[in-house]
Structure 1
Amino acid sequence: MEHEPTHTISGRTAAEIADGVRGLIERGELQPGDPLPPVRSLADTLDVNRNTAVAAYRQLAAAGLVEARGRGGTHVADRAAVPQEGFAADSVLRDVATGNPDPARIPDPSAALARIAARPVLYGEPVIDPGLEAWADAWMRADLAPEDLRLTITSGAADAVERLLAQALVRDDAVALEDPCFLTSIHTARLAGYRVVPVPVDEQGMTVDGLRAALEQGVRAIVCTPRAQNPTGASLTADRAARLREVLADHPYVLVIEDDHFSMLSRQPFHSLIGPDHRRFALVRSVSKFLGPDMCLAVTASDPGTAERLAMRLSPGTTWVSHLLQRLVLALVADPDVAREIEAAGIHYAERNRAFTARLGDAGLPTASGDGLNLWVPLPVPARDVAEQLMRRGWLVRSGDAFALDEAPAARRLRLTVHDLDDADAARLAADLAAAVRAAGGRLHPTRME
C-alpha cells in the first residue's frame, strides 16, 4: 500500500519546484513510491506553464530522485543502492556478474616497484611525469586525427569522464549516452543532473540514426565506447565510424568523449568518432583492465581548450595523480615481458568468450562473443526470471535492465563474466542457463545436435 503524502509542492521556476520536491524527500515528507501530482495538475496548482513542471520533473528524474512509470505517473524513486561493478558481498553463489578482469592475468608489479624510487615531487612541479608523458603521447597520437593534442592524467577513466562532463555541462544540459550503457556513466549523469539522451547500440557500436537524433535534441556532449562496449561487447567498424564522423562534421563544438577502456587488451582495431577538424574532444584510456582496477590512472588526450578546463577541474581537488603511480605504470607498460602478458591476456579473454558462446549455441542460446570481459546474452524470456532460476542453481548473474536507459531492449539480456570459468564450470553454467530459460517458460533455438 502506498504511503499517503501530506506535502505541499511550491515554486515558480523549474529549479524552485525541483528544489522543493528535493526538500520534501530529504525531510521524509515524501517516501519512496509516493506519487507526485500529474504534470498538468501541478502546473495548474502552481499557476505555471506546463513545460515548467515538465522541466522540474526531468531535473528530478536525472538526479535519480523520481522515476517515470508511463501511464502510472511519476513517483519518488527507491533509495536502494544503485548497481555497481564488482563482486557481490556475502554471496554464497558463484558470481558471474562481476565485470572484473582475471586476477591471474594482471601483471605482478613487484619487480617494477623496486625500480621507480626517485626524488620527491613537490608543489609547483609538472603534474605529468616526463617519462609517462612521452610514452602516452605516442600511444594516443597513433589513433587520433587532430594534431594539436594535450595530455592530462586522472585517477581513472570514470574520474576523467566525470570531470570532462563537468567542465562542459551544467545541470539539465543534454548528454548522449550509449544504450545500453556502462553503469558508471549512468550514475555520473544522474548525480550531476544532466538530461540523458539515449543512443542505441547495435553490433557495430553507436548507431548513426541514434546519434543524429541526439544531436537534433541539442546534446552538448557525447560519451562513446569505440570498442569492447560495456555491456554489449560491440566495437565500431571503420564504416560505422566514418558515417558517425560525417554526422558530427556539422557539430564541431559538441564535446566527444571516447572511453577506450579495453585499449591494449582489445582484439579489434581502433576506429574513432573524432575527425581531424573536430574542435572539442577527448580520448580516455585507463590502465585498469590490463594492469588492474587498483591502478587508478587514465590518460586523456584532448584539444587544448578542453585540456585547460579539465586541468582547472583537477586543481581544487586531486591536483595531480601520484608520480609514484605514474612511474609504476610506465615501468610496467615499457617492460617487454609485461607487454607479452597483456597480449596473452587479451587473447585469453577472447578465446574464453568464444568458447562459451559456442557452448551457448549448442545449448540453443545463440550469442555473439563480441570484445571485452563480458558477454551480452539474448534470451527468449525476461532476464529477471532467468536470473531467479539461475540463483536456485547456484549462479549469480546480472540482468540487462541494470545497464538500460530504455529498459525494453535490455530486459531480455544477461551480462555474464565467464572468462575465469574452467571447462567443467563453463559447461555447467551453459546447461543451467538453458534449463533456467526453459523453467522460465522460454523456448530454445534448435541446436546442431537435434
Structure 2
Amino acid sequence: MKIISKTANDIFEAIRSQVQAQQLSPGQTLPPVRQLASELGVNRNTVAAAYKRLVAAGVAETRGRLGTVICETVGPGEQEGGIGHSRLTDLSSGNPNPMWLPDPALALAQRQPRLRLYGDAPVDPGFQDVAYRWLADDCPSPPEIDLAHGAVDAVERLLAAYLVPGDKVVVESPCFISSINTLRIAGLQAVGVPVDEQGMQADVLEAALAKGAQAVLITPRAHNPTGASVSAERAAEIRAVLERHPQVLVLVDDHFALLSNAKFHQVIPPASRRWALIRSVSKALGPDLRLAAIGSDRETSLRLRLRLASGTCWVSHLLQDIAHTCLTSPLVTEQIERARTDYTHRRNLLINALSSQGIQLGQPCDGLNIWVPINEDVEPIILHLAQRGWVVRSGMGFTVQEPVRGIRVTVSMMDADQAARFAEDLSLCIH
C-alpha cells in the first residue's frame, strides 16, 4: 500500500484510490493504526481519522480485534418477487393477488387528469387532503404530508435526510428483504431486534438505542416475513423506550394499512423530535403504482422535500390521480374489503392445513405470507420442496445478524387444494 502525503485527507484519498483501482481488494486488512502512523511518521490520531472517514464513506469497516477491512462490493442482494419457473408452484414472491388490484387505466380515465408542468405543487392538493385524512389520526401530532415512490423509497430518503454511512439503524429480526438491501447499499449498519407475536421486543430495542443507534424502523402490522402485528401492550412499551431517546429518528412502515385486520397501535411518543408514518398503496392497488404517503414532523418534511421537489424528483401526478380516484371510490373500497377477507381466508387455509399435519405456527399473523419456524437447517427442506414442485423463501434472506431459521410462504393466490398438498409435502420434508 503506497501513501506519500501525510494528512488524514491524503491518507483517505490514497486508500480510496487504491480500492477503486483494485490495488486493494475486498476483505483485505489495512495496517494497524499504530503501525501505519509509524511508517508515515505521523500522529496516530491522523491515521485514526483517515480510517474513520473510510468507514463513514463505506470503503472500509471495523471488525474489532480483526482491524479495519476493505468492504466487500455491494451487490443487489436478494429481491422480492417470484422466479417465474413454469414447472414449480411459486410461493416465494410476496405479491398480492392480481384479481384484487383495480384497473389503473380505468381509474385514470375517470379522473380526466390535467397536464402539470415544472413548478406545480409536488403533491396534488386534492390527494394531499386524502392522504392527510388517511394518516393524521395515527400520527403523534398533526403531520406534514409528502409522497415517495413506494415505502422502500420513502425509508431510503428519510434515512438519507438524517444519517451518514456507518450509522446504526434498529430493524426487526427477521427483517424485510428490501429494508436489509436499503441499509446495506446506503452503508448503514442494521441492528436486529427480535420479533415475537406482539412485535419488536422493547427491552432489546432499549439496549440497541443505548449503544448508539440513530434510527429505528418498525412495522406496526403484518410484519414481513412473520406476519406479526404490534399489540397495544407492546406499543406502550416501545413508546416508553423511545420516550427516553427523543433524538432517535422513528420510521413506522405501515405497508399493509389498507388490508390489515389488526388495529394500528401508536409506537411514536409525543416527545420524538424526528418521526414519520409511511403508508403504501402497493399491496392494495398494485406494486407498480409506486406511491406511498408520508406523514411526518415539520423538520423531517422540510428535509424530505429537498429530495422530492418539483423539478427534480417528485411523484408523478398521474400516479397521484390514479391513487386519489381509487382511495375515494366506493367500488374500490368494497374491492379492498373483499381482498382483505380473501387474504384472511387463504392464510387460514394454510394455517389449518399445517395444523392438521402437526405443524403449529404459534402466533397470529396478518399479510400476504405465512411464516413457518423450523428448528433445523432449512436449505435441505427448501430443496426437497422444490423437488416436489414448490418454491418458498428461505429465512436466511431475512437475516440481520443471527441466522434466521424458517421459511416464508406467500398465500395470496393459494387455494384449498394447494394448501393441503403443500402442508403434506412440508411435513414429509421436515420429518
TM-score bracket for this pair, using the shorter chain length: 0.7 to 0.9
> Pick from 237, 243, 259: which aligns with 1:243?
237
1:18/1:57 contact within 8 Å kept: yes
Partners of 1:85 and 1:334 in 2: how far apart?
29
Q: Which sits farther off after the overlay, 51-60 or 209-218?
A: 51-60
2:160 corresponding residue in structure 1: 166
Partners of 2:357 and 2:12 in 1: how far apart?
50
Shift of residue 122, structure 1, vs aligned partner:
2.2
Partners of 1:179 and 1:365 in 2: how far apart?
22
Q: Deviations over 1:42-76 (max 9, x none)?
A: 34542457x9599769939x9598897999x9786
Shift of residue 307, structure 1, vs aligned partner:
0.4
1:67/1:76 contact within 8 Å kept: no
2:40 corresponding residue in structure 1: none
Partners of 2:131 and 2:308 in 1: how far apart?
19
Shift of residue 15, structure 1, vs aligned partner:
8.8
Structural RMSD (CA): 3.2
Shift of residue 427, structure 1, vs aligned partner:
1.5
Shift of residue 196, structure 1, vs aligned partner:
2.3
Paired residues, number: 424
Distance of aligned partners of 1:43 and 1:93 in 2 relative to their CA distance in 1, 3 Å threshold? farther
Secondary structure of the equivalent of 1:114?
helix
1:344 corresponding residue in structure 2: 338
Shift of residue 235, structure 1, vs aligned partner:
0.7
Identity score, percent: 42
Unmatched 5+ stretches in structure 2: 38-43
**Pairwise mapping of residues 196-345 of structure 1 onto structure 2 (< 5 A)?**
196-315=190-309, 318-345=312-339
1:146 aligns with 2:138: no
Q: Deviations over 1:286-335 (max 9, x none)?
A: 10010000111110000111101100122387432121211111111111
Distance of aligned partners of 1:74 and 1:308 in 2 relative to their CA distance in 1, 3 Å threshold? closer
1:448 corresponding residue in structure 2: none
**Pairwise mapping of residues 81-92 of structure 1 onto structure 2 (< 5 A)?**
81-89=76-84, 92=87
Partners of 1:11 and 1:111 in 2: how far apart?
64
1:42 corresponding residue in structure 2: 32
1:156 aligns with 2:150: yes
Give the partner amino acid of 1:130. P
Secondary structure of the equivalent of 2:252?
strand
Secondary structure of the equivalent of 2:221?
coil
Shift of residue 28, structure 1, vs aligned partner:
4.2
Distance of aligned partners of 1:69 and 1:108 in 2 relative to their CA distance in 1, 3 Å threshold? farther
> Pick from 395, 399, 402: which aligns with 1:404?
399
Partners of 1:397 and 1:199 in 2: how far apart?
24
Shift of residue 77, structure 1, vs aligned partner:
4.0
2:111 corresponding residue in structure 1: 116
1:381 corresponding residue in structure 2: 376
Partners of 2:162 and 2:122 in 1: how far apart?
22
Partners of 2:82 and 2:12 in 1: how far apart?
35
2:145/2:301 contact within 8 Å kept: yes
Q: Deviations over 1:341-375 (max 9, x none)?
A: 11111121122112201211221221145111111
Q: Deviations over 1:19-59 (max 9, x none)?
A: 76665554444667xx533x8x634542457x959976993
Shift of residue 111, structure 1, vs aligned partner:
3.0
Instruction: Please report the TM-score for the alignment, with normalisation by the length of structure 1.
Output: 0.84
Partners of 2:8 and 2:177 in 1: how far apart?
28
1:36/1:75 contact within 8 Å kept: yes
Q: Deviations over 1:114-157 (max 9, x none)?
A: 1222332222222211211111111111212313x100011111
1:387/1:399 contact within 8 Å kept: yes
Shift of residue 421, structure 1, vs aligned partner:
1.7
Partners of 1:36 and 1:358 in 2: how far apart?
51
Partners of 1:242 and 1:284 in 2: how far apart?
20
1:354/1:369 contact within 8 Å kept: no
Distance of aligned partners of 1:43 and 1:299 in 2 relative to their CA distance in 1, 3 Å threshold? same
Partners of 1:334 and 1:430 in 2: how far apart?
40
Partners of 1:385 and 1:10 in 2: how far apart?
53
Shift of residue 416, structure 1, vs aligned partner:
1.0
2:388/2:425 contact within 8 Å kept: yes
Distance of aligned partners of 1:57 and 1:403 in 2 relative to their CA distance in 1, 3 Å threshold? farther
Distance of aligned partners of 1:162 and 1:94 in 2 relative to their CA distance in 1, 3 Å threshold? same
Partners of 2:410 and 2:126 in 1: how far apart?
35
Partners of 2:307 and 2:268 in 1: how far apart?
23
Q: Which sits farther off after the overlay, 336-345 or 358-367?
A: 358-367
1:445 corresponding residue in structure 2: none
> Pick from 429, 432, 436: which aligns with 2:425?
432
Partners of 1:436 and 1:30 in 2: how far apart?
45
Shift of residue 233, structure 1, vs aligned partner:
0.8
Shift of residue 379, structure 1, vs aligned partner:
1.1
Shift of residue 170, structure 1, vs aligned partner:
1.3
Partners of 1:52 and 1:364 in 2: how far apart?
56
Partners of 1:83 and 1:342 in 2: how far apart?
29
Q: Which sits farther off after the overlay, 289-298 or 356-365?
A: 356-365
Shift of residue 337, structure 1, vs aligned partner:
1.2
Q: Which sits farther off after the overlay, 7-16 or 183-192?
A: 7-16
Shift of residue 435, structure 1, vs aligned partner:
1.6
Distance of aligned partners of 1:70 and 1:394 in 2 relative to their CA distance in 1, 3 Å threshold? farther
> Pick from 322, 330, 351: which aligns with 1:357?
351
Partners of 1:227 and 1:178 in 2: how far apart?
12
> Pick from 153, 170, 187: which aligns with 1:193?
187
Distance of aligned partners of 1:171 and 1:338 in 2 relative to their CA distance in 1, 3 Å threshold? same
Partners of 2:144 and 2:308 in 1: how far apart?
15
Unmatched 5+ stretches in structure 1: 1-6, 439-450
Partners of 2:401 and 2:204 in 1: how far apart?
13
**Pairwise mapping of residues 170-181 of structure 1 onto structure 2 (< 5 A)?**
170-181=164-175
1:288/1:296 contact within 8 Å kept: yes
Shift of residue 250, structure 1, vs aligned partner:
2.0
Shift of residue 83, structure 1, vs aligned partner:
0.3
Partners of 2:94 and 2:7 in 1: how far apart?
42
> Pick from 59, 66, 72: which aligns with 2:55?
59
